[in-house]
Amino acid sequence: MLSLFFVALVSATLLPGGSEVWLARLWCLGEPPLGLWLVATAGNTLGSMINVAMGRYARRFQDRRWFPASPRSLARAEGWYHRFGELSLLISWAPIIGDPLTVLAGVFRLPWWRALAWIVVAKGTRYALVLLLAQQWLEPLCQ
């Protein structure tokens, strides 16, 4: 299960990963669902909190030429973020857009505990759904 933690952690950063497939594989091998859910949620949440920390740290470099976002795009992102706010972290589970949302939470200084709460809800719900779908569709294939 330690491997699941690391796959989930890496999957939550800007690096690609396949934590859902790994979770389903371990479930198929007979690992306890609650343990799988806890480990995957913890690892993926930690990865997202690393993104939040990177966003907080990166903001101090916004005036540098090499900073990846122009002042205009940063202002546009800030307007979008303030419009949708911290609730946008409920889709932090989504591929492609979820990771940047967690970085933006850090850039725009969402308090740690609130970022953590929204991310745990989003990630925990996703992994519960993956386990439910595995039970529904994969059970006959696991034997």
Q: What is the 3-state secondary structure (H, E, C) of the chain?
A: CHHHHHHHHHHHCCCCCCHHHHHHHHHHCCCCHHHHHHHHHHHHHHHHHHHHHHHHHHHHHCCCCCCCCCHHHHHHHHHHHHHHHHHHHHHCCCCCCHHHHHHHHHHCCCCHHHHHHHHHHHHHHHHHHHHHHHHHHHHHHCC
What pLDDT band is residue 81 in, cutting at 50, 70 and 90? Answer: confident
pLDDT: which is higher, 63 or 90: 90
pLDDT of residue 50: 94
Question: What are the domain boundaries of the chain?
Answer: 1-139
List, for residues 2-36, the tens digit of each pLDDT value. 888 887 877 776 555 688 888 999 999 999 999 99
- pTM tops 0.75, yes or no: yes
